[in-house]
Each structure stands twice: as structure tokens, then as C-alpha cells.
Structure 1
Amino acid sequence: MSGKRTEPRDVERNAAKVATVAQPDTLTPADRYQELFVAVQSGRVFPDSKIFVDCAPLQDPEDILDAYRARKSAPGFDLAAFVHAHFRPEHPPTGRYVSDPERTLAEHIDYLWGVLTRQPREHPVRSSLLPLPNPYVVPGGRFGEMYYWDSYFAMLGLAGSGRLDLMRSMADNFAYLIDTYGHVPNGNRSYYLSRSQPPVFALMTELFEAHGICHALRYLPRLRKEYAFWMEGADELRRNEMHRHCVRMDDGALLNRYWDDRDTPREESYREDVGTAAQGRRPVHEVYRELRAGAASGWDFSSRWCDDDGGLATIRTTSILPVDLNSFLHKLEAQISQLAAAGGDDASAFEFSRRADARRRAIDRWMWSEAAGAYLDYDCRQGRQRERLFASTATPLFVGIAGPSQARRVAEAVRSRLLEDGGVGTSERASGEQWDQPNGWAPLQWMTICGLADYGEGLLSREIRRRWLTTVSSHFRRERKLVEKYALQLPPEGAHGGGGGEYPLQDGFGWTNGVTGRLRHDGAHPAVARPGTES
């Protein structure tokens, strides 16, 4: 599919739109409302911790806090009544995501793009929502803002549905976030500013160019700025030292980990984090940092980040070097090199090619397991690779840094250890967390299907695609909706939505729609159309 490229006058018009974006309130709800925030979240005024932090205040926040301080000690003070008098909840009803019985699955996906689109004029004043200049797609359910890595997988479906207008708008939104904050936050909420998510903007820029939205070179300054965010402090690190996202290995190689700049409970999951920290023996601020870093990974949460014999209270995300994060950063380095060369900056092209090659060698050195025939996360604390296999093992294939023999062995490992009735499994363990058995997730299906196909493992790639589409279609026929995740071990009655984690199963759902729509759109081809390989 192709679309009209953005002309220079369009760029100027978009730049003018960016200049008119409302000034954001970057104070988080906890910072803004202080003891009122703690009282509301601890007192369970809302059943979901995220509802309050997403509320729109009905008057100036400072006046609300002053009023609370003046009244809270009065006899008969009703906290819930006070909150409902001063805030408006923003969460939409879940019924919006259920299909008209007359619609096919493809028609339902096309219809949902309108339901999931948010407009800048709809941004509530003085809320935690960070204003954006252009329309954007949200995941759905409790997730009423734009999320970083979710958006890439939603864009795949937007392309298949011919919604290049939304892709163009979202491209400029991500550029705006990087320009404004120096990185792409987890989502466009003030309480997400202290962390990012899997860095997939480089993949987005390829997608924009492949579909004729704009030249990827336009985004080179933003790619470099994002790279600086992920590598801040790396040059000063000595061997076996860590700083924020960066880790210097004992052989001098640089690798990365997930990180969050704060060490307080996540505001959107305040009660859950306080409860988790209370179960452990560590200082609570250490647990909060690890939970936040786990949220930055997108895999929130999984046994992947925990001690083998413990639950979520043992989480230690910042000790683990993830296969997928480092694969995405290799892609970012390679994309900067390629675009710098296209722009005539040979020195930068050479430097980033060198960095990409060094990271590829480091991934091979520290994360490739000859014994397992797979890529495994590396545990800095224990000084060894993690033993359990996760679907992230396919990411080096997805970004093209595996050797042919490595790809064959990864395919064997996926087939023997992760393949389930309904698609590729997330992990080998049922922990009660949502990024583990029995759940399957759309982004992991896409990356595995594409990575295997790119290395000639078409039979397995097609089988995973068939099983996943059967799972989604079966659930849609019965429930008339698409959901965030699916249980892949199918009961006799057919596919059902996944479970586990800290909140109920969500309807919508952006990346499920995107991946499913794109896989259906690409028909029976063994290799799904990819940027750089499309006809």
C-alpha cells in the first residue's frame, strides 16, 4: 500500500500546529495533590487506582487541595463525596468496543479506529493528560491515552485499513514528544514522564516511509535525541558499572536495561505497589523502582523480572539485561547510521554503524545460549544468563541480527518450548502475572511471525499466524469484541481472553486490532509485508 508523501508545506503546517499545543501540567497527581492523593488511593475511593490519576479537576488544583486541607478534619467529612464534587472521571464505558452482530471481524477492526481515536480538542484542562498536537489512537478500556510501543503495532493495522491520515498524525505526535520531553514517555500522562517503553520509534520511521507518509530522514534528529536519552551517562561508565539505562560489561561492551527515574509507587497502581512492597524484605523504595522499571519494559508483569522461586515482591528488573530492549536499540543505532548516510553525514553514519555492530557482538557474547539454542536475558546480579525462555527470544530475528544457524535453533526452541494451541506463548511458566502462561499477546505474535519468516522459517511462521488468527476469530465470534490478551491453551469451547495481573481483561484493543488486521490483510503469504520488503 502506498500513500501521498508529506509535502514541505504540510511539514510547515504541522509545525504551526505543534506551536499551538497547550502548555502541559508536568506535575504528577501525587506531586500535585499530595496528601489528598494518598488519601484517595489508600481509601479506595475508586475501584481502580488509575481512575483517580486520570480524573479531570473541575477547578484549579491548588484550590482543590486548599479546600481539602480546610475540610478534611471536620466532623462527618466524606472523602468520596468531596472527590466526586471536585473531579470528573474520564474512563469510557467498555460497551463501546462490542461489535454490531452484523459486522465481520475486518469491518469491526475498521470501525474501531474511530472509536479508539482521541482528538486534541478533547484534552481535559489541568488533568494528567499531556496534550498532543494531532489525533491519536489509544489501546482502549482503562488505557485512554497514547502508549509508546502499543502504537507501533496499532499502526500496522492502520496501514492495512488505509488510515494513513492517523499514521501521519501519530508520527508527528511522537516527534513532538521527543522534542518536548527528550524521550517518548510510557504514555502521554504526567505520571509516565519518568520512564519510556520499548524504543520502537526507529521501526515506526521505517513504516512511515514504506507507506509513503514521509521520508524517514525527516525524523533523524528525533532518533538521535531518543538515543541520547537511552545512553545518557554511558561514556563515563567503567567496567561493571551501571547508570540509569546503561550497563558497562566486564569486557567493556555497553548494553542496556529498563529504568524509571522515580522510586515511589506507580501512581496509576498505587495500592497494588504498596501491597507488593509490603510482602518483601527489601526497602520499599527499591521495590517501587523495580516495579516501575518492569512497567517500562511493557511486560508488566512477568516472572521474567523476578527471582525464580519468588513472586512479584522479588522483582529486580534493573538487574536484568533484556534481549528485546537491546535488539530494539541495535535497530535504532542501525537506523541512525542508515539515515545519516542518506543525509550525507558520513562520520555519523560510520560511528553509528560501529555502535550497532558492537551491540550485535555484545548480544551474541552475553545473550546467545549455545546450550539452549536461544537468546536469553542476562542477569547482572547472578553473573549468568537466565534459564527460562520467553518469546522475546525472537526479537533478534525480527530486527535481523541473528545468524542463519542461530535463527534455525531459535525456531526449534520456539516450536518445542513456546508453541501453544493458540499461538506463540509468552513464557514457560504460569506465575499468575499476565506476561506469562497461559497468555498470548499480539506484539509477540507479530515479531515472532515476521522474524521467523525473514529467516526462511516459513512453515512455523505460517502455523503461528494460523493459530493466532484462529484464537482471535474464535473469541470474536463468541464475544463480538477483541481484547488485550488471550489464553493460548484452548478449552473445548474455544478461545477465551487472558487473565492474571493487577487489573481485569481490557476490551478494545489497539495492538490486537493492528496485528490481527494486518495478518488478515496480508493473506497466506509466508512473510508478512515488512518495511523494506514491501512490493
Structure 2
Amino acid sequence: MTTKSTNTSSPFTTAQIDAVRAYIKRTWKTLTRSHEHLLQSAKDTKLEHKKESRWLVYISPSEESPNVQSVLERSLSAKDMQQLEIRTLPTEVEAIKEHGLLYLPGPYVVPGGRFNEMYGWDSYFILLGLLRDGESELAQSQVDQLLYQVQHYGTILNANRTYMLSRSQPPVLSMMVLALFQHTQDEEWLKSALPMLEQFYYYWVVPPHLNPATGLSRFYAFGEGPAPEVLFSERDEEGRSHYDRVKEYYQRFEIEDYDVTLFYDRENDELTRLFYKGDRTMRESGFDITNRFGPFSIDILHYAPVCLNSLLYQMEQDLAQIYNILGNEELVKQWRDRADIRRDRIDRCLWDEEKGLYLDYHFQSGKRRRYEFATTFYPLWLGIASDAQAQGVVENLSLFEAPGGIFTSTRVTGNQWDAPFGWAPLTMVAVQGLYRYGYHDEGDRIARNFLTMVIEEFQRHGTLVEKYDVERCSAKVSDEICFGYSSNEVGFGWTNGVVLELLAALNLYEV
């Protein structure tokens, strides 16, 4: 697999690249949270907080509470400890009446801005950046905290807050474990990670995440009702919550993508229980918000997504590779067989020969949704596509290619995970997928366009941000986003990581 450009010319000056790299190096420190930063971590702008009340930190029931308390007291000042309250997590999530931070024992990097906690799939792109930047200890800890989550909280969480205990995020853990192992060659640690890797895998491949009829998986959040962080923090200038704006949309527009009566009671102007289940599930997918699965992606429960099943294929391949490293040939074959079966199912259900794209599959209708989305590059990125399928996707590249990289989708909807917006992770996925199948010129062009936009915006504003308008090549996006939160967060973890990866791919990064 080729992951680098064959072109060595640079559109950037050394000074421009050095300035961005210096910023990224500094921000790893400012984005790191550890015991010493526990009060800072516990503070959450996404929920209402009474001024005089303490910030809550929950620890796993399997931890020894006095031991954790003692560790924290040694790490924090008495003043900070007085502003915190340490509680043991109830065994039933529904029993949590007051939300708080979920304890993690080691340092980790957060995305930045309003995202002041550890996120599941963000961590993969952050890890790549940490490894590129020589932050090996922090990289090790980043992976270890995710393994800890599986062991102590049951899965990798959307983020380590109690209100996200009921949903996960796209499964990239095995890729992280192997990326770290390539640097450490620590076989004992690799072996110790296996139980958590397999536990996390089975989270995704049994009901309710599994659709038995197709053998493919879906996103499925376990919580009920409105997401607490959305109710409080995702409000517009008039004070309307995201859910208020959704109801207004349903009142004004006819919906043809799905049966809206499943999700909205027009007579009583109320969103249904199934709406909130779909809303939480959409957030588990990491793509919040898009119209990929119909308006607000509320129908996501009824789809096998390209991204999720591609990542599960990779997880099966990764587990085969790990068992190969550890010398268990019988299990190598079992995991490779599983990957082969999933690949066949992806071909049958998710590949659309007529469109030349990978598309999400609707279980109930047995049809693919004709919604062009940049996750079509996942099967190229992970080596699932045949040469002919890869060529089909490349022939459709003009649908997605933008002046600043890759459009998330081909539709302008007022959602941040649609056009005209582009995101670092999907840009990297597309570039590396193109490289993998020998389309170096196309990959180089997209990487250069994205980096040009990011570096020019960095020169204007001095920051890297969460997302960009890749049509206008601008970090100013708030006026174009109508649903969810409209801010563009500064940091930014996964943008940092992808910038370093793409600089390396273009031979513009030297350690």
C-alpha cells in the first residue's frame, strides 16, 4: 500500500510549514487532560451548571474509590478538590440524575473548544498526529484510555461524560492499537489489549447493532429521550433548541425520505420516542448532523452504513494481523474468514454498480439510498474495493472534489456534515484511498488543496479549526449552519493529526 506522493515539489514555504507545525506541537499540550487538569476537564459548557455546586466526576464501580480519591488528592490542590465531587457510577445508567465527567486514569488529548473530553473516533486522527510529532508517551496513553473505557465502561464511549454512556462512536480501536504497536513493538502490551479489542468488536456485531437479515451492522444508541447536551447547548440566537428547529422544519416542509409520522406527532407538535432514538444514534455515527439518512439522519436506525461496515471489516483484518503477530494461525484464519464474508456482504449490499459509488443500504426496502457521501471512499481507504470499483469511485471524484479538498456530501442542507463543508478526517480517508489504488495525482491534488486552504486560514487567524467551507476555502462557517451547533471549534485535535499526515504524504514533513 502506497501512502506517499511521488511528487516532491511544494506549494508552501518552509516558514509556512514550520509555523503550522509549531502551532500543532504547542496545542498537544493545551489539549491534554490529566489528573492535574481534572477540574478543567470536569467543567462542561454543554450542560447547565449551578454556580455554587460542585463539578461531578464519576468513577467505575470496579475501581477502588478510596484509592482513586487518594491519587486525585495528591495531584490536585485542596482548592480544586473542594470544587469537585467524586462519585461511584451507578450500575444502571438510568439511575444517573446528575451528569458529570467519567474518570480516566491517564492523560488524553481532547479535540478542543466545547469538546473538553475524550472522543472515540477523534482519537484515531489525534493518535496519528501524536506519533508523527514524537509524542510517544501521550500516544500510548491515548490508546490505553480507550482500552480502559472498554474494560470499565463497557465500550468506547462517544465521549467520557455520563450522558454519553449509552452510545459509542465509529470503531477505530484496532487501527489505533496496531498503529501504536508499529512504534513500540511491545508484544506483551499487544496481547493484553486483545480482550478489550474483542469485547469492543462484539459490541458491534450482535443485536441490536447487527441486522441479522444482511449480516451487516448499524449504529444504535441505547439511551432514550432528548440528548441532554443538545437541549442546553445547541441553541440559536433566538434561544431555540435544535429540537425546536427540527419541529419547525417538520411543520413547514413535506418529507419524502421517510415516514415522518414515525418521528413527529404533527397534531401535538411533539417529536416521538423513535425520533430521539434516531437522534442519539446519529450522534453515535460521528456525523452529526447530516441528511445522509433523510432529514437530520433520523432514519439511521434502518440503514447499514458504508463507514461502519468498512471499519468492522478492517477490525476483522486487524485482529487477524494481531493473532498472526502472536503466532496463533487458527485464529488468524477465523478472523480473515470473517473479513472475507463481510467484504462479500459489502459488495452485495453497499456497492452500487450503476452509480459507481458505495451507498448506505436500507434494510426494510432492500434498496441503497442515493445520497452521495464521502464515506464512499472508506472501501478504498481500507482495501475493500476491487480495482474496477475503485475506478468507478474515481470516475465520480468530480462530485466530491472542491477547491479546499473534499465535500462531505453533494447536498447543501444547512447541516455541518453536508456540502459545502469539508472535514480533515474524510479528506485523509479520500487521499489515502486514492493512493492505495494508484491514483497518486488525484490524491496529491486533494491533499494540496486542503493543506493550502488550512495553511492560508492559519495565516489569517492563527488557529486550526474543526471544519471548513471547502467551496469558499474559509474557516468562517457559522452563518451557513442551521441545525445543531453552528460554532467552529478551535484546536483542533483531528485537524492537527491530518495536517501532519498529509504533509508527510506529500513528502513535506521531516522529523
TM-aligned CA deviation for residue 378 of structure 1: 0.7
- Match status 1:182 vs 2:154: yes
TM-aligned CA deviation for residue 218 of structure 1: 3.7
TM-aligned CA deviation for residue 276 of structure 1: 5.3
- Match status 1:245 vs 2:198: no
- Aligned-partner Cα distance in 2 for 1:488–1:361: 34
- Aligned-partner Cα distance in 2 for 1:403–1:440: 26
- 2:104 corresponds to: 132
Paired residues of 1:367 and 1:377 also in contact (CA < 8 A):
yes
From the superposition, tell whether residues 277 and 497 of structure 1 become closer, same or farther in structure 2 (CA, over 3 Å).
Answer: closer
- Aligned-partner Cα distance in 1 for 2:506–2:246: 47
- Aligned-partner Cα distance in 1 for 2:476–2:497: 17
- 1:318 corresponds to: 301
Which amino acid counterpart does residue 468 of structure 2 have in structure 1? Answer: Y
- 2:458 corresponds to: 476
SS at match of 1:269: helix
Counterpart pick for 2:474 among 487, 491, 495: 495
**1:24-43 → structure 2 map (5 Å cutoff):** none
Which amino acid counterpart does residue 201 of structure 2 have in structure 1? Answer: Y
Paired residues of 2:217 and 2:309 also in contact (CA < 8 A):
yes
SS at match of 1:126: strand
RMSD over aligned CA atoms reads 2.2
- Match status 1:364 vs 2:347: yes
- Aligned-partner Cα distance in 1 for 2:281–2:218: 9
- Match status 1:158 vs 2:130: yes
**1:166-205 → structure 2 map (5 Å cutoff):** 166-205=138-177
- Aligned-partner Cα distance in 2 for 1:199–1:485: 21
TM-aligned CA deviation for residue 131 of structure 1: 0.9
> Normalization by structure 1: what TM-score?
0.72
- Aligned-partner Cα distance in 2 for 1:121–1:472: 32
Structure 2, gaps ≥5 residues long: 1-15, 40-54, 58-99, 233-240, 251-260, 264-270
- 1:383 corresponds to: 366
> Normalization by structure 2: what TM-score?
0.76
- Aligned-partner Cα distance in 2 for 1:246–1:301: 23
- 2:393 corresponds to: 410
Query: Greater shift after overlay, 340-349 or 351-360?
Result: 340-349
- Match status 1:486 vs 2:468: yes
SS at match of 2:219: coil
TM-aligned CA deviation for residue 445 of structure 1: 0.6
- 1:287 corresponds to: 275
- Match status 1:256 vs 2:217: yes
- Aligned-partner Cα distance in 2 for 1:289–1:142: 24
For residues 276-306 of structure 1, give each alpha carbon's deviation from its aligned partner in whole angstroms, at most 9, with x where no partner exists.
5645543521110101010000000101021
From the superposition, tell whether residues 163 and 372 of structure 1 become closer, same or farther in structure 2 (CA, over 3 Å).
Answer: same
Counterpart pick for 1:452 among 422, 429, 434: 434
- Match status 1:340 vs 2:323: yes
SS at match of 1:407: helix
Paired residues of 1:273 and 1:288 also in contact (CA < 8 A):
no
- 1:275 corresponds to: 244
- 2:200 corresponds to: 226
For residues 365-394 of structure 1, give each alpha carbon's deviation from its aligned partner in whole angstroms, at most 9, with x where no partner exists.
001111111111111233211112111000
- Match status 1:331 vs 2:314: yes
Structure 1, gaps ≥5 residues long: 1-100, 233-242, 530-535
Query: Greater shift after overlay, 419-428 or 497-506?
Result: 497-506
- Aligned-partner Cα distance in 2 for 1:143–1:208: 24
Q: Percent identity?
A: 36
- Match status 1:109 vs 2:24: yes
TM-aligned CA deviation for residue 102 of structure 1: 13
- Aligned-partner Cα distance in 1 for 2:165–2:109: 19
SS at match of 1:148: coil
TM-aligned CA deviation for residue 273 of structure 1: 5.2
Larger RCO of the pair (alpha carbons < 8 Å, separation 6+): 2
Which amino acid counterpart does residue 354 of structure 2 have in structure 1? Answer: A
TM-aligned CA deviation for residue 205 of structure 1: 1.2
- Match status 1:302 vs 2:217: no
Paired residues of 2:467 and 2:475 also in contact (CA < 8 A):
no
TM-aligned CA deviation for residue 212 of structure 1: 2.2
From the superposition, tell whether residues 274 and 293 of structure 1 become closer, same or farther in structure 2 (CA, over 3 Å).
Answer: same
- Match status 1:466 vs 2:440: no
Paired residues of 1:483 and 1:497 also in contact (CA < 8 A):
no
SS at match of 2:101: coil
